[in-house]
Each structure stands twice: as structure tokens, then as C-alpha cells.
Amino acid sequence: MPYYDGFVAAVPTANKDKFLDHARTGDPFFIEHGATRVVECWGDHVTHGQVTDFYRAVAAHEDETILFSWVEWPDKATRDKAAAAMFNPENVDPRIDPEKNPMPFDGKRLIYGGFETIVREGDHSSVPYVQGFMVPVPTEKREAYATMAAEAWSMFAGYGAQAVLEAWGDDVPRGEVTDFYRGVNATADESVVFSYMIWPSREVCEKAMQSMMEAEMPGGMEMPFDGKRMVWGGFQPILEL
């Protein structure tokens, strides 16, 4: 099963073109070191929540937009080898050197981590529109969460969803300013799930969400996590390698 690096950042809205230049320069590094895909998604319909949301997760300012992105690897071993090359102080690739290809956003508020695939369904060959999620799940309920997510896929597919990924936190560091754990107010006994759902368009996604809100949920479906702390939003892919 693929392995994923997930990222969330707050990018000054005025720096969108600068970010694209930065990503077009640096992202090929991952492909050259074995990644099968890199996707950068720009906040399109990211709402503010009562308890948690993407803005709080990265301490975003009013003039910043949320970036949701991932790097897909064939396995963790390939990812770890690439990471070793990335952080090799004796051979820093200029494309990922912050002095030569500076990040047009506050890197101290970037949150990132490595995630193991637990559910992957549907057609991932194209990425027209994305819903991104961060979910706090009790670590002991990993299997229950995977079972629920797999069973829910048929419902989402019935509403027009194209694909889904659910990936379990495996190598998720704690940051000094922000991190995935703080982003969902995770407790000590919880792990973080990085998830996305691919839709044919924003219109199909929004119509599906409205239909699901109006419909009765299937009986017996219990969420093995605190839904009030789930973080989600809609994103428009702006770069895919």
C-alpha cells in the first residue's frame, strides 16, 4: 500500500504565484527520489469551525489561504531513503535549499507527517477537486475506524465521490509552534488520520454534502472518534506531478 507525507500550510494569498514557482522548482525532487505523485491544493471552500479548523491548525492570518498537499510514495522505505537525501547536510539539493529556493510562507507554521494507508478506494488517476480532512482517532480504535471508513465508501461513491484515502499517523512529529496533534486538539491516547476525498468537481461535492445532510444516516453507523474535532475543507488542485 502507498505511504503518504501530508502537509498543511498557511500561505499569504498574495503569494500564490510565488508558491507555485517554489513548488514547480522543488517538487520534482520528490518524483526523482521515487515519489509516485505530488499534489498541491489551494483552499477553495475552507470554513471556520467552532472547535477546530484548518485556520487554527496552522495559526493562519486573515490574509492567508490554506494549502493542503501530499506526496505519495510506493512504500515507506522509498520515502525514508528520499528523506535521508533531503536532509543530507553534505549534499543539499539547491531546489530544496530554503536559502536558494525560499518558502513564500512561514515554515514554522507548516504541519507535516508520514502516514500509513489504511483505506484506499476508487479512482485516484486524476484529481479534479479535493476535500481534505484531519481526524483525531483513539489509537486503540484504529481497526474500528478503518472498518467504518471502508463501509462508508459505498455511500460516498453513491453520491458521486471519485476516490478516498484514509492514512494513519505513523511518523508525525510534534512541532514548536503547530503540528497535526494540536490541529485537532488530540489527546495523549489519540492518533491523527490524514484523509482526502476526490470529487469530479466542487459542484458535485457540494450537492452530495447537501443531500447527505438532508438524508437519514444509515442505522448502526457509529463514529469511533470525536466528530466535533474533525477538520475538513474543500480545495482546488493547483499543481500535480
- Residue 62 is classified by DSSP as T
Please state whether the predicted TM-score (pTM) of the whole model is above 0.85.
Answer: yes
In tens, the pLDDT along 79-88 reads 999 999 998 8
Residue 221: pLDDT over 90: no
Give the Cα separation of 150 and 134 in Å (integer).
Answer: 17
Query: What 3-state class would DSSP assign to 151?
Result: helix
> How far does the chain reach from its first CA to its final CA, in angstroms?
19
Give the Cα separation of 198 and 196 in Å (integer).
Answer: 7
- Per the structure, the count of domains in the chain is 1
In tens, the pLDDT along 58-78 reads 999 999 999 999 999 999 999
**Residue range 33-56: mean pLDDT, rounded:** 97
CATH number (domain holding residue 179): 3.30.70.100
Give the Cα separation of 205 and 113 in Å (integer).
Answer: 27
Determine the pLDDT at residue 102.
Answer: 95
In tens, the pLDDT along 146-183 reads 999 999 999 999 999 999 999 999 999 999 999 999 99
In tens, the pLDDT along 115-129 reads 999 999 999 999 999
Give the Cα separation of 207 and 143 in Å (integer).
Answer: 30
Query: What 3-state class would DSSP assign to 180?
Result: helix
Say if CB 105 and CB 10 are below 8 A apart.
yes
Residue 218: pLDDT over 70: no
Cell numbers for 178: 503547530
Q: Provide the residue range defining the domain that includes 56.
A: 3-240
